[in-house]
A and B are shown apart, each in its own frame.
Chain A
Amino acid sequence: MKLVRSGGLGGLEMVATVDAADLPTDQQDVASTLLAQDLRGPGTSRPGGADQFSYQLEIQHDGHTVLRHWDEPEVPETVRPLLTSLTRQAKPSR
Protein backbone atom coordinates (compact mmCIF):
# COMPACT_ATOMS: atom_id res chain seq x y z
CA MET A 1 0.00 0.00 0.00
CA LYS A 2 1.05 3.57 -0.61
CA LEU A 3 0.37 6.64 1.51
CA VAL A 4 0.78 10.19 0.19
CA ARG A 5 0.46 12.93 2.78
CA SER A 6 0.28 16.41 1.31
CA GLY A 7 -0.36 19.94 2.57
CA GLY A 8 0.62 21.10 6.01
CA LEU A 9 2.38 24.27 7.07
CA GLY A 10 5.50 23.24 5.14
CA GLY A 11 3.65 22.01 2.06
CA LEU A 12 6.04 19.05 1.92
CA GLU A 13 4.66 15.91 0.32
CA MET A 14 5.54 12.70 2.17
CA VAL A 15 5.28 9.25 0.59
CA ALA A 16 5.46 5.77 2.12
CA THR A 17 5.17 2.46 0.29
CA VAL A 18 4.86 -0.63 2.48
CA ASP A 19 3.81 -4.23 2.30
CA ALA A 20 0.66 -4.70 4.37
CA ALA A 21 2.08 -7.97 5.66
CA ASP A 22 4.73 -5.96 7.52
CA LEU A 23 2.11 -4.02 9.49
CA PRO A 24 0.73 -5.00 12.92
CA THR A 25 -2.31 -7.25 12.72
CA ASP A 26 -4.77 -4.58 13.89
CA GLN A 27 -3.60 -2.23 11.13
CA GLN A 28 -3.86 -5.01 8.54
CA ASP A 29 -7.46 -5.42 9.67
CA VAL A 30 -8.11 -1.70 9.12
CA ALA A 31 -6.57 -1.96 5.64
CA SER A 32 -8.85 -4.93 4.88
CA THR A 33 -11.87 -2.93 6.02
CA LEU A 34 -10.84 -0.04 3.80
CA LEU A 35 -10.70 -2.39 0.82
CA ALA A 36 -14.38 -3.09 1.27
CA GLN A 37 -15.70 0.24 2.50
CA ASP A 38 -14.82 3.90 2.87
CA LEU A 39 -14.59 5.19 6.43
CA ARG A 40 -15.32 8.75 7.47
CA GLY A 41 -14.54 10.56 10.71
CA PRO A 42 -16.94 12.72 12.70
CA GLY A 43 -15.24 15.98 11.69
CA THR A 44 -16.04 17.93 8.58
CA SER A 45 -13.48 19.82 6.58
CA ARG A 46 -14.47 23.51 6.64
CA PRO A 47 -13.88 26.06 3.93
CA GLY A 48 -11.48 28.65 5.21
CA GLY A 49 -9.18 26.14 6.89
CA ALA A 50 -5.51 26.28 5.97
CA ASP A 51 -2.30 24.25 6.36
CA GLN A 52 -4.23 21.06 7.08
CA PHE A 53 -2.92 17.68 5.93
CA SER A 54 -4.55 15.59 3.23
CA TYR A 55 -4.01 11.84 3.06
CA GLN A 56 -4.37 9.55 0.06
CA LEU A 57 -4.11 5.85 0.68
CA GLU A 58 -3.73 3.43 -2.21
CA ILE A 59 -4.34 -0.22 -1.37
CA GLN A 60 -3.63 -2.96 -3.89
CA HIS A 61 -5.14 -6.40 -3.36
CA ASP A 62 -5.85 -9.34 -5.69
CA GLY A 63 -5.19 -7.31 -8.82
CA HIS A 64 -7.36 -4.34 -7.99
CA THR A 65 -6.59 -0.99 -6.41
CA VAL A 66 -8.67 1.02 -3.98
CA LEU A 67 -8.07 4.71 -3.31
CA ARG A 68 -9.14 6.38 -0.06
CA HIS A 69 -8.78 10.07 0.66
CA TRP A 70 -9.19 12.16 3.82
CA ASP A 71 -8.64 15.81 4.64
CA GLU A 72 -8.04 16.78 8.25
CA PRO A 73 -10.20 16.75 10.36
CA GLU A 74 -12.15 14.03 8.56
CA VAL A 75 -9.73 11.22 9.46
CA PRO A 76 -11.64 8.53 11.38
CA GLU A 77 -10.07 7.44 14.66
CA THR A 78 -10.03 3.83 13.50
CA VAL A 79 -7.79 4.78 10.57
CA ARG A 80 -5.53 7.21 12.46
CA PRO A 81 -3.08 4.58 13.85
CA LEU A 82 -2.56 3.16 10.35
CA LEU A 83 -1.87 6.63 8.91
CA THR A 84 0.45 7.48 11.81
CA SER A 85 2.36 4.25 11.33
CA LEU A 86 2.73 4.80 7.58
CA THR A 87 3.66 8.46 8.06
CA ARG A 88 6.55 7.42 10.29
CA GLN A 89 7.96 5.45 7.37
CA ALA A 90 7.31 8.20 4.82
CA LYS A 91 10.00 10.18 3.02
CA PRO A 92 9.82 13.60 1.42
CA SER A 93 8.96 13.27 -2.26
CA ARG A 94 10.58 16.41 -3.61
Chain B
Amino acid sequence: MSHQPLSCILSPDLLHKLALDTTAKHRSTILNTLELDQSFRLRRAELAARQVVRPLGSMSAGVGGSPNRSIYDQRHSTENAPGTLVRKEGQGPVKDVSINQAYDGFGFTYKLYWDIFHRDSIDDQGMPIEGLVHYGDAYDNAFWDGAGHMFFGDGDGQLLTDTTKGLDVIGHELTHGVTQHEANLTYSGQSGALNESLSDVFGSLVKQYHLKQTAAKADWLIGKDIVGPQLAPALRSMKAPGTANQYDDQPADMDHYVHTSKDNGGVHTNSGIPNHAFYVTATTLGGKAWMAPGNIWYDTLLDSKVTPRTTFTLFAAVTLRHARSRYGTTSKEAQAVQAGWNAVKVRAR
Protein backbone atom coordinates (compact mmCIF):
# COMPACT_ATOMS: atom_id res chain seq x y z
CA MET B 1 0.00 0.00 0.00
CA SER B 2 1.39 3.40 -0.95
CA HIS B 3 0.95 6.21 1.53
CA GLN B 4 0.78 9.88 0.62
CA PRO B 5 2.10 11.61 3.72
CA LEU B 6 1.83 15.04 2.13
CA SER B 7 -1.94 14.81 1.77
CA CYS B 8 -3.76 17.53 3.67
CA ILE B 9 -0.67 18.65 5.57
CA LEU B 10 0.69 20.97 2.91
CA SER B 11 -1.62 23.37 1.12
CA PRO B 12 -2.42 22.80 -2.56
CA ASP B 13 -0.61 26.08 -3.43
CA LEU B 14 2.57 24.92 -1.74
CA LEU B 15 2.38 21.53 -3.43
CA HIS B 16 2.02 23.26 -6.79
CA LYS B 17 5.15 25.35 -6.06
CA LEU B 18 7.07 22.25 -4.96
CA ALA B 19 6.07 20.50 -8.16
CA LEU B 20 7.59 23.29 -10.20
CA ASP B 21 10.89 23.23 -8.30
CA THR B 22 11.72 19.56 -8.24
CA THR B 23 12.90 16.65 -10.35
CA ALA B 24 10.61 14.82 -12.76
CA LYS B 25 10.33 11.80 -10.43
CA HIS B 26 9.40 13.89 -7.42
CA ARG B 27 7.14 16.07 -9.56
CA SER B 28 5.14 12.98 -10.49
CA THR B 29 4.79 12.01 -6.82
CA ILE B 30 3.73 15.51 -5.83
CA LEU B 31 1.18 15.71 -8.65
CA ASN B 32 -0.25 12.36 -7.56
CA THR B 33 -0.48 13.71 -4.05
CA LEU B 34 -2.22 16.84 -5.30
CA GLU B 35 -4.74 14.74 -7.16
CA LEU B 36 -5.43 12.56 -4.14
CA ASP B 37 -5.53 15.57 -1.88
CA GLN B 38 -8.02 17.35 -4.13
CA SER B 39 -10.31 14.33 -4.30
CA PHE B 40 -10.09 13.97 -0.52
CA ARG B 41 -10.93 17.64 -0.01
CA LEU B 42 -13.88 17.37 -2.40
CA ARG B 43 -15.11 14.24 -0.66
CA ARG B 44 -14.80 15.91 2.72
CA ALA B 45 -16.75 18.97 1.46
CA GLU B 46 -19.45 16.70 0.06
CA LEU B 47 -19.76 14.79 3.33
CA ALA B 48 -20.01 18.04 5.27
CA ALA B 49 -22.75 19.30 2.95
CA ARG B 50 -24.69 16.07 3.47
CA GLN B 51 -24.90 16.61 7.22
CA VAL B 52 -28.52 17.72 7.35
CA VAL B 53 -29.62 19.14 10.66
CA ARG B 54 -32.16 16.79 12.20
CA PRO B 55 -35.11 18.55 13.84
CA LEU B 56 -34.89 19.00 17.60
CA GLY B 57 -36.17 16.06 19.61
CA SER B 58 -35.55 13.75 16.71
CA MET B 59 -33.07 11.35 18.19
CA SER B 60 -35.50 8.56 19.07
CA ALA B 61 -34.51 5.44 17.19
CA GLY B 62 -37.61 3.76 15.84
CA VAL B 63 -38.13 0.51 14.03
CA GLY B 64 -38.08 0.91 10.27
CA GLY B 65 -41.32 0.67 8.37
CA SER B 66 -43.36 3.32 10.12
CA PRO B 67 -43.04 7.09 9.75
CA ASN B 68 -42.63 9.58 12.55
CA ARG B 69 -44.72 12.54 11.45
CA SER B 70 -45.35 15.90 13.10
CA ILE B 71 -47.52 18.62 11.61
CA TYR B 72 -47.26 22.20 12.87
CA ASP B 73 -49.68 25.06 12.26
CA GLN B 74 -47.86 28.28 11.38
CA ARG B 75 -51.17 30.20 11.56
CA HIS B 76 -50.26 32.36 8.55
CA SER B 77 -47.05 33.66 10.05
CA THR B 78 -43.73 33.57 8.21
CA GLU B 79 -41.92 32.37 11.30
CA ASN B 80 -39.43 29.73 10.19
CA ALA B 81 -39.38 27.74 13.43
CA PRO B 82 -42.16 25.17 13.85
CA GLY B 83 -45.34 26.71 15.24
CA THR B 84 -48.04 24.88 17.18
CA LEU B 85 -47.86 21.09 17.08
CA VAL B 86 -51.32 20.08 15.86
CA ARG B 87 -50.98 16.41 14.92
CA LYS B 88 -48.26 13.93 15.67
CA GLU B 89 -47.71 10.28 14.78
CA GLY B 90 -50.57 8.02 15.71
CA GLN B 91 -53.08 10.79 16.40
CA GLY B 92 -56.36 10.79 14.51
CA PRO B 93 -57.61 13.33 11.98
CA VAL B 94 -58.37 16.88 13.08
CA LYS B 95 -60.88 19.39 11.70
CA ASP B 96 -58.33 21.25 9.59
CA VAL B 97 -58.10 19.49 6.23
CA SER B 98 -54.64 20.92 5.40
CA ILE B 99 -53.18 19.31 8.51
CA ASN B 100 -54.68 15.94 7.59
CA GLN B 101 -53.56 16.20 3.97
CA ALA B 102 -49.98 16.92 5.00
CA TYR B 103 -50.04 14.04 7.52
CA ASP B 104 -51.53 11.59 5.03
CA GLY B 105 -49.31 12.77 2.17
CA PHE B 106 -46.18 12.20 4.24
CA GLY B 107 -47.50 8.74 5.11
CA PHE B 108 -48.03 7.82 1.45
CA THR B 109 -44.60 9.19 0.57
CA TYR B 110 -42.93 7.22 3.37
CA LYS B 111 -44.78 4.11 2.19
CA LEU B 112 -43.42 4.29 -1.37
CA TYR B 113 -39.86 4.77 -0.13
CA TRP B 114 -40.18 1.94 2.39
CA ASP B 115 -42.19 -0.58 0.36
CA ILE B 116 -40.28 -0.23 -2.89
CA PHE B 117 -36.82 1.09 -2.02
CA HIS B 118 -36.58 -0.11 1.62
CA ARG B 119 -35.66 3.39 2.67
CA ASP B 120 -36.51 4.46 6.21
CA SER B 121 -37.53 8.11 5.83
CA ILE B 122 -35.58 11.12 4.57
CA ASP B 123 -32.20 10.00 5.87
CA ASP B 124 -32.85 6.22 5.76
CA GLN B 125 -32.47 6.26 9.54
CA GLY B 126 -36.03 7.03 10.54
CA MET B 127 -35.68 10.80 10.50
CA PRO B 128 -38.83 12.56 11.75
CA ILE B 129 -40.94 14.08 9.00
CA GLU B 130 -41.98 17.61 9.91
CA GLY B 131 -44.49 19.66 7.96
CA LEU B 132 -45.36 23.30 8.63
CA VAL B 133 -48.76 24.18 7.19
CA HIS B 134 -50.59 27.49 6.70
CA TYR B 135 -47.25 29.21 6.21
CA GLY B 136 -47.57 32.90 5.37
CA ASP B 137 -50.51 34.87 4.08
CA ALA B 138 -51.93 33.43 0.84
CA TYR B 139 -48.43 32.11 0.29
CA ASP B 140 -47.99 30.66 -3.21
CA ASN B 141 -45.41 28.04 -2.47
CA ALA B 142 -44.23 24.85 -0.80
CA PHE B 143 -40.55 24.34 -0.06
CA TRP B 144 -37.86 22.30 1.69
CA ASP B 145 -35.67 24.42 3.96
CA GLY B 146 -32.55 22.23 3.99
CA ALA B 147 -32.90 21.80 7.77
CA GLY B 148 -35.50 19.06 8.00
CA HIS B 149 -38.70 21.05 7.48
CA MET B 150 -41.25 21.23 4.69
CA PHE B 151 -43.34 24.38 4.47
CA PHE B 152 -46.76 24.58 2.82
CA GLY B 153 -48.58 27.78 1.88
CA ASP B 154 -52.31 28.11 1.30
CA GLY B 155 -51.90 29.80 -2.09
CA ASP B 156 -53.62 32.97 -3.27
CA GLY B 157 -56.31 31.04 -5.14
CA GLN B 158 -55.13 32.39 -8.49
CA LEU B 159 -51.67 30.92 -9.06
CA LEU B 160 -51.84 28.19 -6.43
CA THR B 161 -54.36 26.85 -3.96
CA ASP B 162 -53.69 24.88 -0.75
CA THR B 163 -50.37 23.20 -1.51
CA THR B 164 -51.05 20.29 0.88
CA LYS B 165 -53.65 19.04 -1.63
CA GLY B 166 -50.96 17.75 -3.97
CA LEU B 167 -49.67 14.31 -3.05
CA ASP B 168 -47.05 14.66 -5.79
CA VAL B 169 -46.09 18.05 -4.29
CA ILE B 170 -45.62 16.53 -0.84
CA GLY B 171 -43.56 13.71 -2.40
CA HIS B 172 -41.60 16.33 -4.34
CA GLU B 173 -40.66 18.30 -1.23
CA LEU B 174 -39.73 15.26 0.85
CA THR B 175 -37.59 13.98 -2.00
CA HIS B 176 -35.53 17.19 -1.84
CA GLY B 177 -34.56 15.96 1.62
CA VAL B 178 -33.67 12.52 0.32
CA THR B 179 -31.54 14.07 -2.42
CA GLN B 180 -29.78 16.29 0.12
CA HIS B 181 -28.85 13.19 2.14
CA GLU B 182 -27.64 11.26 -0.90
CA ALA B 183 -26.20 12.90 -4.03
CA ASN B 184 -26.61 16.37 -2.47
CA LEU B 185 -26.99 17.85 -5.95
CA THR B 186 -26.02 21.52 -6.05
CA TYR B 187 -29.13 23.63 -6.63
CA SER B 188 -27.89 25.36 -9.76
CA GLY B 189 -27.52 24.62 -13.46
CA GLN B 190 -27.73 21.00 -14.62
CA SER B 191 -27.21 19.50 -11.14
CA GLY B 192 -30.00 21.74 -9.86
CA ALA B 193 -32.26 20.66 -12.72
CA LEU B 194 -31.50 17.02 -11.83
CA ASN B 195 -32.33 17.81 -8.19
CA GLU B 196 -35.67 19.23 -9.33
CA SER B 197 -36.28 16.35 -11.72
CA LEU B 198 -35.68 13.72 -9.04
CA SER B 199 -38.29 15.45 -6.90
CA ASP B 200 -40.76 15.41 -9.79
CA VAL B 201 -39.96 11.77 -10.63
CA PHE B 202 -40.39 10.44 -7.09
CA GLY B 203 -43.27 12.85 -6.37
CA SER B 204 -45.05 11.43 -9.40
CA LEU B 205 -44.23 7.87 -8.32
CA VAL B 206 -45.68 8.52 -4.85
CA LYS B 207 -48.96 9.52 -6.50
CA GLN B 208 -48.95 6.66 -9.01
CA TYR B 209 -48.16 4.10 -6.30
CA HIS B 210 -50.94 5.42 -4.07
CA LEU B 211 -53.45 5.39 -6.96
CA LYS B 212 -52.11 2.04 -8.28
CA GLN B 213 -51.70 3.56 -11.72
CA THR B 214 -49.63 2.08 -14.52
CA ALA B 215 -47.32 4.30 -16.56
CA ALA B 216 -49.91 4.29 -19.34
CA LYS B 217 -52.72 5.32 -17.00
CA ALA B 218 -50.84 8.10 -15.14
CA ASP B 219 -51.23 11.71 -16.32
CA TRP B 220 -47.56 12.56 -15.59
CA LEU B 221 -48.60 16.07 -14.53
CA ILE B 222 -46.98 17.78 -11.55
CA GLY B 223 -49.05 20.01 -9.29
CA LYS B 224 -52.38 19.33 -11.00
CA ASP B 225 -54.19 19.34 -7.65
CA ILE B 226 -52.75 22.61 -6.35
CA VAL B 227 -52.84 25.04 -9.30
CA GLY B 228 -55.27 27.94 -9.46
CA PRO B 229 -56.88 29.21 -12.67
CA GLN B 230 -53.79 31.14 -13.78
CA LEU B 231 -51.59 28.02 -13.84
CA ALA B 232 -54.16 25.39 -14.75
CA PRO B 233 -54.03 22.61 -15.68
CA ALA B 234 -50.68 21.90 -13.93
CA LEU B 235 -47.22 23.21 -13.06
CA ARG B 236 -45.30 20.80 -15.27
CA SER B 237 -45.82 17.87 -17.61
CA MET B 238 -43.30 15.04 -17.69
CA LYS B 239 -45.06 13.63 -20.75
CA ALA B 240 -45.00 16.88 -22.74
CA PRO B 241 -42.69 19.46 -21.13
CA GLY B 242 -43.61 23.03 -22.07
CA THR B 243 -47.35 22.38 -22.33
CA ALA B 244 -48.53 22.30 -18.71
CA ASN B 245 -49.80 25.90 -18.55
CA GLN B 246 -49.68 29.19 -20.42
CA TYR B 247 -46.30 30.12 -18.90
CA ASP B 248 -44.65 26.71 -19.10
CA ASP B 249 -41.35 27.04 -20.97
CA GLN B 250 -39.76 23.69 -20.13
CA PRO B 251 -37.67 22.13 -22.90
CA ALA B 252 -38.16 18.46 -23.80
CA ASP B 253 -34.65 17.88 -25.15
CA MET B 254 -31.09 19.23 -25.13
CA ASP B 255 -31.57 21.14 -28.40
CA HIS B 256 -33.83 23.47 -26.45
CA TYR B 257 -31.84 23.64 -23.19
CA VAL B 258 -32.43 27.08 -21.66
CA HIS B 259 -29.33 29.07 -20.70
CA THR B 260 -30.48 31.56 -18.09
CA SER B 261 -29.43 33.13 -14.82
CA LYS B 262 -33.00 33.10 -13.52
CA ASP B 263 -34.16 30.52 -10.96
CA ASN B 264 -30.62 29.29 -10.18
CA GLY B 265 -29.89 28.68 -13.82
CA GLY B 266 -33.34 27.44 -14.77
CA VAL B 267 -33.58 24.52 -12.34
CA HIS B 268 -37.38 24.33 -12.75
CA THR B 269 -37.06 24.83 -16.50
CA ASN B 270 -34.38 22.41 -17.65
CA SER B 271 -35.69 19.70 -15.33
CA GLY B 272 -38.09 19.04 -18.20
CA ILE B 273 -35.27 17.19 -20.00
CA PRO B 274 -34.51 14.47 -17.40
CA ASN B 275 -38.23 14.41 -16.49
CA HIS B 276 -39.08 13.45 -20.05
CA ALA B 277 -36.29 10.86 -20.15
CA PHE B 278 -37.88 9.14 -17.16
CA TYR B 279 -41.35 9.33 -18.72
CA VAL B 280 -40.11 7.75 -21.99
CA THR B 281 -38.25 5.04 -20.03
CA ALA B 282 -41.36 4.22 -17.96
CA THR B 283 -43.83 4.22 -20.84
CA THR B 284 -41.48 2.26 -23.12
CA LEU B 285 -41.32 -0.45 -20.48
CA GLY B 286 -44.97 -0.17 -19.50
CA GLY B 287 -46.43 -1.42 -16.25
CA LYS B 288 -45.65 0.10 -12.88
CA ALA B 289 -43.21 3.00 -13.14
CA TRP B 290 -42.13 2.61 -9.51
CA MET B 291 -40.74 -0.84 -10.24
CA ALA B 292 -37.84 -1.05 -12.74
CA PRO B 293 -37.65 2.66 -13.73
CA GLY B 294 -38.05 3.78 -10.11
CA ASN B 295 -35.42 1.36 -8.87
CA ILE B 296 -32.95 2.35 -11.57
CA TRP B 297 -33.36 6.06 -10.77
CA TYR B 298 -33.16 5.34 -7.02
CA ASP B 299 -29.97 3.27 -7.45
CA THR B 300 -28.55 6.20 -9.41
CA LEU B 301 -29.43 8.72 -6.70
CA LEU B 302 -27.49 6.59 -4.20
CA ASP B 303 -24.50 5.94 -6.48
CA SER B 304 -21.30 7.56 -5.23
CA LYS B 305 -20.46 8.60 -8.80
CA VAL B 306 -23.39 11.00 -8.67
CA THR B 307 -21.78 13.92 -6.87
CA PRO B 308 -23.05 17.48 -6.22
CA ARG B 309 -22.04 18.85 -9.64
CA THR B 310 -23.34 15.94 -11.70
CA THR B 311 -24.34 16.74 -15.29
CA PHE B 312 -27.16 15.25 -17.34
CA THR B 313 -24.65 13.14 -19.31
CA LEU B 314 -23.09 11.61 -16.20
CA PHE B 315 -26.46 10.98 -14.59
CA ALA B 316 -27.71 9.30 -17.79
CA ALA B 317 -24.63 7.07 -17.93
CA VAL B 318 -25.14 5.97 -14.32
CA THR B 319 -28.82 5.14 -14.92
CA LEU B 320 -27.81 3.01 -17.89
CA ARG B 321 -25.10 1.27 -15.86
CA HIS B 322 -27.62 0.40 -13.14
CA ALA B 323 -30.18 -0.80 -15.66
CA ARG B 324 -27.56 -3.11 -17.16
CA SER B 325 -26.22 -4.41 -13.87
CA ARG B 326 -29.66 -4.96 -12.31
CA TYR B 327 -31.46 -6.39 -15.36
CA GLY B 328 -28.79 -7.36 -17.91
CA THR B 329 -26.82 -5.61 -20.64
CA THR B 330 -29.33 -6.33 -23.39
CA SER B 331 -32.41 -6.32 -21.15
CA LYS B 332 -35.57 -4.50 -22.13
CA GLU B 333 -35.02 -2.30 -19.06
CA ALA B 334 -31.59 -1.18 -20.31
CA GLN B 335 -33.02 -0.57 -23.77
CA ALA B 336 -35.86 1.50 -22.31
CA VAL B 337 -33.40 3.66 -20.35
CA GLN B 338 -31.36 4.15 -23.54
CA ALA B 339 -34.54 5.10 -25.38
CA GLY B 340 -35.39 7.60 -22.64
CA TRP B 341 -32.11 9.47 -22.91
CA ASN B 342 -32.11 9.21 -26.71
CA ALA B 343 -35.51 10.92 -26.76
CA VAL B 344 -34.11 13.95 -24.94
CA LYS B 345 -30.82 13.94 -26.88
CA VAL B 346 -28.61 13.26 -23.88
CA ARG B 347 -25.85 10.82 -24.71
CA ALA B 348 -25.91 7.82 -22.39
CA ARG B 349 -23.28 5.12 -22.77
Q: Footprint of B on A, CB under 8 Å?
A: 6-13, 43, 46-53, 72-73, 75, 77, 80, 84, 88, 92, 94
Contact = CB atoms under 8 A, between A and B. Distances in A.
Given A9-B172, A51-B176, A73 B80 contact: yes
A83 to B, nearest CB: 10
Contacts of A11: 196, 263, 266-269
B143 interface: yes
Interface string B225-256: 00000110001000000000001010000000
Chain B interface, DSSP helix/strand/loop, else mixed? loop
Interface of B: 49, 52-53, 78, 80, 137, 140-147, 156, 159-160, 163, 169, 172-173, 176, 180, 184, 187, 195-196, 199, 223, 230-231, 235, 247, 249, 262-264, 266-269
A10 B235 contact: yes
B78 A6 contact: no
A92 to B, nearest CB: 5
Contacts of B163: 9
Contacts of A48: 49, 52, 144, 146-147, 176, 180, 184, 187
A13 B145 contact: no
A73 B141 contact: no
Contacts of A43: 80
Contact of A50 (B49, B159, B195): B195
Contacts of A46: 53, 145-147
A11 B235 CA distance: 9
A50 B247 contact: no
A71 B137 CA distance: 18
A7 B140 CA distance: 11
A33 B173 CA distance: 36
A11 B142 CA distance: 11
Nearest to B226: A9
B180 A8 contact: no
A-B pairs with lowest CB-CB distance, top 4: A11-B268, A48-B146, A49-B146, A46-B146
User: Looking at A47, A50, A51, A94, which has the most chain B CB atoms within 10 Å of its CB?
Assistant: A50
Contact of A12 (B53, B78, B159): B159
B200 to A, nearest CB: 10
6 contacts: A7-B263, A11-B263, A47-B146, A49-B144, A51-B144, A75-B78
